[in-house]
Chains A and B, each alone.
Chain A
Amino acid sequence: MNWLLVVAGGMVGAPLRYLTDRAVQFRHDTVFPWGTFAVNVVGSLILGLLTGAVAAGAADSHLHLLVGTGLCGALTTYSTFSYETLRLAQDGARCYAAANVALSLAAGLGAAFAGVALARALWA
C-alpha cells in the first residue's frame, strides 16, 4: 500500500516536471533553466505545506507518502539541477551557473519555510 502511494505520486510528479520544463522552454528562449527552477520552488512550497499540516495533525502519513514522498519528490530534482549548473559553467556561462545555484537555493528554501509557516498558521 505504502509503495503504491509513492509510485503513484512519482508517476504524476515526474511527467509534470517534464511538461513544465517543455512549456517554459517553448515560451522563453533563454539558457537559464527556468523550468527546473520553477518545479523545484513549487515542489518545496507544497512539501513545506504538507509537512506543516502533518505536524499539526491536519494530514496523515498516507497523504504524505502520496503527495510528499511520491509527487513532490519526483516533481523536484537535484540531478537535473546539478547537471544544468555544470553545463552552464562548462559552456562559459559561469554567472548563470552561480545565479542558478543562488536563486534555486534562496527561492527553494524560502518556499519550504513559507510552506511550513503557512501550514502552522492555517492548522495549528
Chain B
Amino acid sequence: MRVSGRGTLSDVTVPHQDRLDVRDVADLAVPVRRPSPWQGQAPVVAVVAVGGGIGAAARYGASLLWPAQTGGFPWTTLWVNVVGCALIGVFMVLISDVWAAHRLVRPFFGTGVLGGFTTFSTYAVDIERLVAAGRPEAGLAYLAATLAAALAAVWLAVTAARRVLLWGRS
C-alpha cells in the first residue's frame, strides 16, 4: 500500500551514497546493492498470517450466519466488504494520525484481519455465477452496489474519523 509517504504499509529505505561518485561506482566490480526487501520480515509475515486466519474465519462465520441462496443476491459478501472498508478507513486514520502503535499492529489488523475478511475473488465469481444463472441484471446491480457502497464506506469512515479527531482536539 504505497501512495505517498503517510499511511503506507511499508517503507523502503535507500542508503545515502555521498561517499561514492559516479566514477567510483563504475569502477566497482560488484554493483551497489539496495537492502533486501525481505530483511526483518519474518515477524510481519507471521502476524499477517494470524490476522488473515482470523479475518477469513470471520467472513466464513458471516456466511454461515447469513447463508446466500443459490442464484440469489449475495448480500452477505456485499456487507462483509462494505464493513471491512469502513473499518479500514477508521483504522488507517487512527494509526496514521493518533496512535503511535507497535510496528506490527498495522500489518496484523490492516493487512491481515481486514484484508483476510474482505474479498475480491468471491465478489468477481459471485457476478459470474449470477450471469451464468441467467440473471445478468442482478450481476450488474451487485457489481455496481458493492463498488459504490465500498468506496462510500471508506470515504465516509476516513472523513468522519478525521472530523472526530479535530473536534476532540479543539
Chain A residues with a Cβ under 8 A of chain B: 2-3, 6-15, 17-19, 21-23, 25-26, 31, 33, 36, 40, 43-44, 46-48, 51, 65, 68-70, 72-88, 91, 93, 101, 104-105, 108-109, 111-113, 115-116
With A6-B56, A10-B56 as known contacts, state yes or no: A79 contacts B115, CB within 8 Å: yes
In the complex, what's the smallest C-beta–C-beta distance from B87 to chain A, in angstroms? 7
Inter-chain contact A48/B158, CB cutoff 8 Å: no
Q: Number of B residues whose C-beta is below 8 Å from A?
A: 64
Chain B residues with a Cβ under 8 A of chain A: 1-4, 7, 9-10, 12, 34, 37-38, 41, 44-45, 48-57, 59-60, 63, 81, 84-85, 87-89, 92, 107, 110-112, 114-125, 127-129, 131-132, 143, 146-147, 150-151, 153-155, 158
- Main DSSP-derived SS at the A contact region: helix
A51 — which chain B residues lie within 8 A by C-beta?
125, 128-129
B143 — which chain A residues lie within 8 A by C-beta?
105, 109
Inter-chain contact A11/B50, CB cutoff 8 Å: yes
A15 — which chain B residues lie within 8 A by C-beta?
45, 48-49, 52
Some 8 contacts from A to B, beta carbons below 8 A apart, are A3-B57, A10-B57, A14-B51, A14-B52, A14-B116, A108-B121, A108-B123, A109-B128
Bound CA span A73–B127, Å:
15
